[in-house]
Amino acid sequence: TELKTKADLLERLQQANVPVVWRPFHELNGNWFWWGKQGPGNFKRLWITMYDYFVKDRKLNNLIWVLCYTGEPDSAWYPGDKYVDIAGADTYDKGDSSMPYMYKAVKDITGTRIPIAYHECGTPPDPDKCLKDGVMWSWWMEWHTQHLRNVDTVYLKKLYDHELIITRDEVPDIMKVYGKKMKK
């Protein structure tokens, strides 16, 4: 089955001490993917079935479970805190807005119990506007190809140089720091 195939691959990563940001079924409450077409009840059963198989049956402990709404988060689709490590939403609205309404909609569902991410965006939010609006995305992901090419390079440089933004070159080498402690 598909779940077994995925679990086999994820198990190999677990054996290599590789954590995985696992974001299945993105834009879950849209109706454009098969997993969103049958409504929130069936989606939650699907999510929990995958979670139980991976975590309980296959004993995968290297997954960070990420729930991704459309730009209109809806609590009816939330499978529960037990099954989610990070939640968020995505939209491709133009402009550098902090997306306070989308952030608040996710926060109304999860509270402050878990981090909130801006999963996919056409234009990343301005960090100064995020600060001003109290919108603290744990991350945002600039979507690729034409979306990235449409963002002004001066704006992107401002973003990546901003003190609130941690870029890849600023992330510590966790294997160097923790790798020896993790080996058995």
Instruction: Write out the catalytic residue numbers.
Output: 27, 120
CA distance 141 to 119: 6
CA angle 132, 137, 142 (to 5 degrees): 110
Tokens read off for 23: 């974001």
CA distance 112 to 114: 6
CB atoms within 10 A of CB 160: 13
The maximal CA–CA distance of the chain, rounded, in angstroms, is 49
DSSP string, 13-70: HHHTT--EEE--SSSTTSSSSGGGTTHHHHHHHHHHHHHIIIIIIS----EEEEEEE-
